[in-house]
Structure 1
């Protein structure tokens, strides 16, 4: 057995996989640590009400991303993995054109707020309308580097990006600016950084080949992404309406550490997707699922024991939601296996199956929020999240193996 593992270590292909995984994990660790520090600063500086509004605004801008051909990001990873580098600029311009629709919506909202004599809000909405197409297109470099498996470059870029955000937060606290000014400033800083990163990435383009179905596939992925974003947007409205912005802030902190498991699952997706596309060796899907589940459970158990200490130390004003955070970890037990299955369907472009998963889970989550939040508050929201993730794994497992897919 030792000789077998020694062979895998010496084998360049497996060594490359280990290297990719290492730098991808480092990226998530650095981003997680800096995000935690930033969140601590924000929750210490802003009131729960202001922090809840900030989360709400962030979600709205993210929701408008559905008008920016959001599926192009995933399609680009697959195209680059297939050596179709020409799709990079092709999808960039297509994504920019689709983003103009989002700009129109921002302009309409700006006009509405102008009529209400809210000139500051109107100005910020107008500004977002102008920069919106660039926000969504310049960030494509992340998908390009993922397709190239350039995880060390992504590690450096992600680290610098989070450090810049930290500087913005410290600036906000030092000069006691409003949360609305902070929100706009952070978006502008990210835009500037993403623009530089995008133009620097162009020197790594190796061919002009374009995937002929690139736009069609992007639209399919976009459709799949749009369904949960619309329903999640409604979910946020439900929570904000019934529980208020303070509860929204508590909900965000309660799901912070359980959410890190989902963020870490991005390592699995980033490393596996290009391997699935190129049919790397003979991947044993069952074995991958088994090991991902074991690691997942061990990580969840460990975090359940320490999350109380972390919240007391970092977010003392939120100690009343420790038990909610511990309960929320139950939802993370199937995150890694679900990511493996979802990545497999992504790589094989099984759009019909992906749509079934997204539609089923999103509708169940929406109905769960609508029924349980008015009765059980934040606990009801956590219960819905747990059931949602378990059901998602069951559906994914069934869809992947029902036709005995060969990988």
Structure 2
């Protein structure tokens, strides 16, 4: 079977999803009016440098600022300083950048405006621990959270309550200046408190919530971290807190926008496009089983939709690391999907992270075809063993089916597309 056409269409949909969330396209129409005083630009995330460049290109007056992004994601700016740091496990460069952000917004007046550019990845890029904790504590916490199977919402709740910058603390430092947040969402539900763990928005969650999450996933933390949470000393700033300035938050791109762009590409190619959800969460392999069941029903029974069609979804699944592989929630999803489909004719799929990095790998995701499992067996590879070892990247790399984009300079979370090219009725036994 020639897979070139389905693979090209899937990649075109993925590229359209990424293009729809490019800061150069999304930032300009959301810029605020010029303030009477100074404009100071701050930000953090994988897309923040590209967002800063878009601000510079379209802001008519004076500005200055500091933005921190992931290594390899810097974009040259003339008036806004761009600093690079580590993701997903923070480093000393991120800690220094977090401290400098406080310096950047100090001494502002009531007529000044802080324009905050936030995107996914900012939590790791802004490590600044509460007194008594260290960068090593934050690094250990991040590693434990990433391996735990906790959702992004749960992970960020814990991070906020052990941080000196997250959970509205940076916003408080901006007062009396106003704060306008331009947010590129990478989280299910588009809650601004979960994007970069909400440095410049109030946080309704509590230390008690964070403790519950640590217990739920059996995550060990240092005695000092536990004391901060149990005493409430690590409490974040809540809505209505008088220490907060006036804050306005504008979403410039979301997972839903990216999925709609991909849907248009599918429809233009003659495929009915169905968006199943932009905020699907859960263990990657369990989500895969569910979507495989829907795809098989469509292929065999033309229910609930008829082929030729594409099933699109976004959100952020999780992977509980139990094996020795390199993780990656999109490749884990795709490998589990392939096992559940068991070579069903006419079904191809692509799963990838729109930031170009799935897990800790510089690989966005992978492609799946009806003969993927058969090709693996021919090479002596056992698909289920690779899944049990959390080795989706190793599996798809060996087959030459990885999807590599390089730094995309944006991040609207995971992208999943299942293409069903024609009905394949299953005769009852």
Answer 1 or 2: higher relative contact order, Cα 8 Å, separation at least 6: 1
Decide: shared fold, TM above 0.5: no
TM-score (ref. length: structure 2)? 0.28
| Greater strand fraction, Structure 1 or Structure 2 | 2
